A and B are shown apart, each in its own frame.
Chain A
Amino acid sequence: MISFIIFFFFAAVAVIFAAMVVLHRNPVVGALSLVASFFALAVMYVLLEAPFLAALQVIVYAGAIMVLFLFVIMLLNLQHQAEPHTRPVQQFLGYTSSAAFGLALIYYLAKFGVTKLPEGVFVADARTVGIRMFEAYIFPFEMVSILLLAAIVGALILSGRTGISSTQGSPSASVPSTKMPPATPASTHSEEVR
């Protein structure tokens, strides 16, 4: 009975704050709402007797990823920017696609049922998750690592650090990376931060 009340309370919290993420005009408030939503989701994991997953949910999503999001939003100082005007076509497409997705979700949940739980005892402690991840799912795990590594290398190249160093070797103006003089990124950066 108590877990029932807790479930509905935190389900409501998760849904309300998830709606806030989409509906609120201010990106910082949106990001903070997402944190609250993730936190409520972590409570769901506790109710499913998977406290390990709950802790990971909070550490990884609410604690690490969202702090980075906030960092970027605050660094770009987005709150002073006027919301770009949206065209009616964009609004129409946005509303219809999200409504279609919502209807599909409700249809499949109603069709397959939300009351069916997997059989057997559900174990999700650190040991079980670790053994599963490094035995049965070792290949996807390694693939994700490679994907992350590629993303890091890509971010480093895009951030222009290699571009600037390459211009020192070749003074030709036809190289795309030399289009931006090295002084420009520094000056725009300091202006954004103010």
Chain B
Amino acid sequence: MHGIDWVDVGLSGLKIAVVLGAMLNVTPIMVWVERRGSALIQDRPGPNRVGPFGLFQSFADALKFILKEDMLPAKANKVLYTIAPMFGLIPALTTIAVVPWGRPFLLPGGRLFEPIIANVNIGILLIFALASMGVYGIVMAGWASANKYSLLGGIRASAQMISYELSLTLAAVSVLMSAGSLSLVDVVWRQTGSFVLFNAIKLPAWNIFSPAMWIAFVVFFVSAFAETNRLPFDFAEADAELVAGYHTEYSSMKFALFFMSEYMAMATMSALITTLFLGGWDIPWYNEPPNALGFALSVLAFVAKVSVLLFVFVWVRWTVPRLKYDLLMKLGWKVFLPLAVINIVIVALFIAKRWI
């Protein structure tokens, strides 16, 4: 056994603290963006009383969550009812660990600083493995509440997640084939620089600009909405049909945990879409210097891309109405799954012809 490298431990702790802090702050910010964004789209003011532009509304919301009575339904399975919200939170918080969020650079001591918590060579598989655990939080909550609407929400969630996980994973396979690696660090490095499309336009070498990836991007992007249970695919809660679906019986901080995990799952999904298709931390038409400045700029680029995607999540929610449940299943199994498989063949052709 070799000794423990305390600088390395310290750096890891710092990275974990920064990323966790960012993830935990996503929820209050996104709640504000969601409420103000929906108001903007529906042509009304939205929350604008607490603080400038209503920015402190989230603090008021949090205070309310903490002070509300925590109720336990009489017929609920107490153990599962209590651990279900926590179970939803774990995948939302852990999957971000394998996503690189900046350009690596050399520290003054000659040590390489890699802005990623865990640089594992099976990064994308780890994300899918942990993300697939997220559904158990919803299913457990739906079942343990002993409420028919909750149960229906849980059943719907399990069917929906299974269906869309397939197309999500198969769409990601296209990206992994072109990168030749399961590590998200390699996927991002593969997208740096630029290429010339159809001998005419000089574009950044992001996967989204490659003709082989267009289908994969659409499939992945839409499946991401289903995977995070957001409108137009929020069948697990579907407030018009199921009261509030799987979290009907939840109140106080237990409800807040579901709330938080939904927004954190959105942030993770946005980070994943950015990494797989939008070049990760790469800045278009610009060669980041391998120093602290390049690192800072690349982190800003990453955060900007994720923020835009998060706003798109909000935008879509308040623009597109909910599908019918049978349409959701048809879309997943009869449209997206075949499209994702076809795209794998297309990417294979591109790789064989050395076009990418």
Write the residues of chain A forming the contact surface with B, with a CB cutoff of 8 angstroms.
Answer: 26, 28-29, 32, 35, 39, 42, 51-52, 54-56, 58-59, 62-64, 67-68, 70-71, 74-75, 77, 125-126, 193-194
Contact = CB atoms under 8 A, between A and B. Distances in A.
Nearest to A68: B162
A125 to B, nearest CB: 7
Given A62-B133, A193-B152, A70 B139 contact: yes
B132 interface: yes
A35 B129 CA distance: 12
B129 A55 contact: yes
14 contacts: A32-B140, A52-B182, A58-B130, A58-B133, A62-B129, A63-B128, A63-B165, A67-B139, A67-B161, A68-B162, A70-B136, A74-B142, A74-B143, A74-B158
B120 interface: yes
B158 A70 contact: yes
Given A51-B122, A74-B154, A194 B148 contact: yes
Contacts of A29: 77, 80
A70 B140 CA distance: 10
Given A51-B120, A74-B154, A74-B158, A64 B165 contact: yes
A32 B122 contact: no
B125 interface: yes
Contacts of A26: 77
Contacts of A67: 132, 135-136, 139, 158, 161-162
A63 B125 CA distance: 12
Given A51-B126, A63-B128, 18 more contacts: A29-B80, A52-B122, A55-B122, A55-B126, A56-B125, A58-B133, A59-B128, A59-B129, A62-B133, A64-B132, A67-B158, A67-B161, A70-B139, A74-B139, A74-B143, A74-B155, A126-B182, A194-B148
A32 B136 contact: yes
A194 B120 CA distance: 46
Interface of B: 77, 80, 120-122, 125-126, 128-130, 132-133, 135-136, 139-140, 142-143, 148, 151-152, 154-155, 158-159, 161-162, 165, 169, 182
Contacts of B135: 63, 67
Contacts, number: 77
Question: A interface, by DSSP: helix, strand, loop or mixed?
Answer: helix
Contacts of B159: 71
A77 B151 CA distance: 9
Nearest to A126: B182
B352 to A, nearest CB: 16
Contact of A58 (B129, B143, B151, B155): B129
A55 B129 CA distance: 6
B126 A71 contact: no
B341 to A, nearest CB: 14
A63 B132 contact: yes
Given A55-B125, A74-B158, A35 B132 contact: no
B162 A126 contact: no
B154 to A, nearest CB: 6
A70 B131 CA distance: 17
